[in-house]
A and B are shown apart, each in its own frame.
Chain A
């Protein structure tokens, strides 16, 4: 049910519809909304559905009477306050019952109703209802306003609390920031003097003393005048006039470049200080605050001096060296060289940084080799080292030099530049070449001589024997003895020449003939070669599993043969030779031991057994030989870049140790 909020509801109850129509006619006003009920039940239903300002009730109704209905209305809390106007017959006995109701809440009218009276009574109640409603509304609005105000107050309180927290937080952050700034300034050894233009004061930072070495005047009133005097009095005399000029030159609003000077602290320490002006315009554009920062740059200054001194020392050193010293960028252009270089190359300063200079002085035959090596050194980061010929401007000829260069890298291991030297090795190189020529000639000579010596010697030996065999009977015993001496002399000499030949031929096969050699097969061949003496001496020759070595094969065969042959030859009388070859692997070489149970060698002879023609035993049938075997062994091992030595106990046996490279040699 929709209601116009300005209308008030009036419930009219009568069992007689005509009466209701009469009431409707009487109360036909826009301010009222009339609800009809023709019985108490209908009236109760209407009261439940709507709020009413007034109930106009016919007392006499069939079923529930008006009075009974009124009693129920008054008992219900929601409707107890609804005023009731009873309609009664005139002088009815119900009059007494009505007296029981409170005045104001209940009224009555006699039928037939006088329209004017009814209108006025209803108007009173309607007015009362309206006023009551207005008051209720006013009251409700008041309560709402109070609640609203409380809410606002609470919000305000919370806001206040938050604000306080923020203030505390910001203050703390500001303090921490200030501490950080101060720490930073302390760490940087930076202090400042602030000039408050409005007050004409100079205020120094807390760490002024620590940085500058003297204290700023404490009384701010004095500071403007005293501060400058005090400052200048601490500046080193040599810098004082200049610094004073810098201070005078300073005009507000016009920052000067930084200036540095030395200052003598009261603590006796000399410091280098760098000062700078900063000017701040105040908000009103008139006052200007200035900041004079002072930075302790002692470390930088002295490091610079140290660097210059070190650089100077380096140059003096480099210039006094007989070698050429240079530094170059990665592509090889030289960016520094010493005096020796410029006198050698006659390159003036103008050639500095010219990449072509290497090509100008390098021997054309060496250039490509040199560049290639250079490039590979840049790639690998390894030291560059090679021999090449450089054009000597003074003597107008090429001279051999040993060039060395190191790649200088930074901490990230990136190559930065080269530092190198060229050492004159011309004389060594030439004498080396001479020596090589002489050596090679000597070898050829020795080889030819020994071959050519063999034949006449053999002829002497053979034909003296033939002479003895065929014609010996024509000579006496002494004559025969002479011939035997000739034969043995010639044979011995022949053996010497043979061994000398073997010795010199070792040189002919150098490390360039090195190839992987399976020592197992070499060993088998050696045993075959030594077959007869192994058999005759009843020797046992055993060995570990032998490796593949990287040496000239002829050498390793001769080496094994000489050592095993010796072990058989120098056996003890009462015991068959037992020989074992031991092998052990080292990092980049093999270690061999040829051990025997022979007569051994006294310690004092250990070194000399490897000498040429060195023999420990008189020439005899038993220990035949020329003393070349071990000399050859030593030469072979040397050529193979190994070592050979002996350990031995006389009467127990000898161990000949030697080493051979296991990989491709460089």
Chain B
């Protein structure tokens, strides 16, 4: 690992963005976090990666309920892309619906993280991120 890992966060809710940032900082992963605030931005970023205009990130934390394009649509595009087809993805969502869980599993998400309304629970995302980055080789 030469330089700091790049983590992308596709999340429109500033409160959740804040919580993720706090969790990453608490976990002191030394990573760099970039935020994509809706589905369209996420797809544009993906297109840029394909064009080598952006680097392939080490991890994507993906909210499912994104404006413009849903997280599932974004994930489908990622899996269909040439550069990011095996990108590590952690899904974060407030939906506990089996359908969403099934979609995430089908699209090979590493974790399905339910956004908690309890701070300490929410901060546990940090350990999942660490796990994901350590698994990277």
Question: Chain A: residues with CB nearer than 8 A to chain B?
Answer: 451, 454-455, 457-459, 461-463, 465-466, 469, 490-491, 494, 498, 501-502, 505, 509, 554, 557-558
B65 and A461 form a contact (CB under 8 A): no
- Given B13, B19, B99, B116, which contacts A554 in the complex, CB threshold below 8 Å? B99
The winner among A462, A465, A554, A557 for most chain B CB atoms within 10 A is A462
A455 and B97 form a contact (CB under 8 A): no
- Given B15, B96, B118, which contacts A491 in the complex, CB threshold below 8 Å? B118
Which residues of the other chain, B, contact A459 by a CB distance below 8 angstroms?
13, 15-16
B99 and A509 form a contact (CB under 8 A): yes
A554 and B118 form a contact (CB under 8 A): no
B15 and A465 form a contact (CB under 8 A): no
CB neighbors of A among B85-128 (8 A): 94-99, 102, 115-119, 122
Complex Cα distance A451/B12, Å?
13
A451 and B95 form a contact (CB under 8 A): yes
Which residues of the other chain, A, contact B119 by a CB distance below 8 angstroms?
462, 465-466, 469
Which residues of the other chain, B, contact A462 by a CB distance below 8 angstroms?
15, 19, 117-119, 122
Complex: chain B residue closest to A509, CB-CB: B99
B99 and A457 form a contact (CB under 8 A): no
B97 and A502 form a contact (CB under 8 A): yes
Complex Cα distance A465/B97, Å?
26
A491 and B117 form a contact (CB under 8 A): yes
Task: Please count how many residues in chain B sit with their CB below 8 Å of the partner chain's CB atoms.
Answer: 18
Which residues of the other chain, A, contact B102 by a CB distance below 8 angstroms?
554
Which residues of the other chain, B, contact A554 by a CB distance below 8 angstroms?
97-99, 102
Which residues of the other chain, B, contact A451 by a CB distance below 8 angstroms?
65, 94-95
Question: Chain B: residues with CB nearer than 8 A to chain A?
Answer: 13, 15-16, 19, 65, 94-99, 102, 115-119, 122
A557 and B98 form a contact (CB under 8 A): yes
B99 and A458 form a contact (CB under 8 A): no
Chain B binding site: helix, strand, loop or mixed by DSSP? Answer: loop
From known contacts A451-B65, A455-B13, A455-B16, infer whether A461 and B98 are also in contact, taking CB-CB under 8 Å. Answer: no
CB distance from A417 to the nearest CB of B (A): 51
CB distance from B92 to the nearest CB of A (A): 11
Beyond the given pairs A458-B94, A491-B118, A554-B97, 11 more chain A to chain B contacts, judged by CB atoms under 8 angstroms and listed by A's residue number, are A451-B65, A451-B94, A458-B117, A462-B15, A462-B117, A469-B119, A494-B117, A502-B96, A502-B97, A554-B98, A554-B102
A461 and B97 form a contact (CB under 8 A): no
Which residues of the other chain, A, contact B122 by a CB distance below 8 angstroms?
462
Complex Cα distance A492/B33, Å?
32
A457 and B98 form a contact (CB under 8 A): no
A458 and B15 form a contact (CB under 8 A): yes
CB distance from B91 to the nearest CB of A (A): 15
Complex Cα distance A558/B101, Å?
12
A498 and B98 form a contact (CB under 8 A): no
CB distance from A503 to the nearest CB of B (A): 11
Which residues of the other chain, B, contact A454 by a CB distance below 8 angstroms?
94
Which residues of the other chain, A, contact B117 by a CB distance below 8 angstroms?
457-458, 461-462, 490-491, 494
From known contacts A490-B117, A491-B117, A494-B117, infer whether A455 and B98 are also in contact, taking CB-CB under 8 Å. Answer: no
Which residues of the other chain, A, contact B13 by a CB distance below 8 angstroms?
455, 459
Which residues of the other chain, A, contact B16 by a CB distance below 8 angstroms?
455, 458-459
- Given A466, A490, A494, A505, which contacts B97 in the complex, CB threshold below 8 Å? A505
- Given B15, B19, B94, B118, which contacts A498 in the complex, CB threshold below 8 Å? B94
Complex: chain A residue closest to B102, CB-CB: A554
A455 and B118 form a contact (CB under 8 A): no
Complex: chain A residue closest to B94, CB-CB: A454
The winner among A455, A466, A502, A557 for most chain B CB atoms within 10 A is A455
A-B contacts, 16 of them at CB < 8 A, read A451-B95, A454-B94, A458-B117, A459-B16, A461-B118, A462-B19, A462-B117, A462-B119, A465-B118, A491-B118, A494-B117, A498-B94, A498-B96, A509-B99, A554-B97, A558-B98
Complex: chain A residue closest to B96, CB-CB: A498
Complex Cα distance A387/B19, Å?
56
Complex Cα distance A490/B97, Å?
21
Complex Cα distance A518/B65, Å?
30
Which residues of the other chain, A, contact B116 by a CB distance below 8 angstroms?
458
CB distance from A405 to the nearest CB of B (A): 42
Q: What 5 pairs across the A-B complex have the smallest Cβ distances?
A: A459-B15, A461-B117, A554-B98, A465-B119, A454-B94
CB distance from B30 to the nearest CB of A (A): 23
CB distance from B89 to the nearest CB of A (A): 21
CB distance from B25 to the nearest CB of A (A): 13
Which residues of the other chain, A, contact B97 by a CB distance below 8 angstroms?
501-502, 505, 554
Which residues of the other chain, A, contact B115 by a CB distance below 8 angstroms?
458
CB distance from A624 to the nearest CB of B (A): 13
CB distance from A281 to the nearest CB of B (A): 100
Complex Cα distance A543/B9, Å?
43
Complex Cα distance A505/B95, Å?
11
Complex Cα distance A501/B95, Å?
9
Which residues of the other chain, B, contact A501 by a CB distance below 8 angstroms?
95, 97
Complex Cα distance A57/B25, Å?
183
Complex Cα distance A479/B3, Å?
45
CB distance from A557 to the nearest CB of B (A): 5
CB distance from B10 to the nearest CB of A (A): 15
Which residues of the other chain, B, contact A491 by a CB distance below 8 angstroms?
117-118
Complex: chain B residue closest to A493, CB-CB: B117
CB distance from B111 to the nearest CB of A (A): 15
Complex: chain A residue closest to B122, CB-CB: A462
Complex: chain B residue closest to A556, CB-CB: B98
CB distance from A471 to the nearest CB of B (A): 14
Complex Cα distance A461/B115, Å?
12
Complex: chain B residue closest to A454, CB-CB: B94
Which residues of the other chain, B, contact A463 by a CB distance below 8 angstroms?
15
CB distance from B98 to the nearest CB of A (A): 4
Which residues of the other chain, A, contact B118 by a CB distance below 8 angstroms?
461-462, 465, 491
CB distance from A640 to the nearest CB of B (A): 15
Complex: chain A residue closest to B64, CB-CB: A451
Complex Cα distance A457/B118, Å?
11
CB distance from A511 to the nearest CB of B (A): 16
A455 and B99 form a contact (CB under 8 A): no
CB distance from A558 to the nearest CB of B (A): 6
Which residues of the other chain, B, contact A466 by a CB distance below 8 angstroms?
119
Complex Cα distance A466/B122, Å?
12
Complex Cα distance A490/B96, Å?
18
CB distance from A387 to the nearest CB of B (A): 32
CB distance from B56 to the nearest CB of A (A): 30
Complex Cα distance A498/B96, Å?
8
Which residues of the other chain, B, contact A558 by a CB distance below 8 angstroms?
98
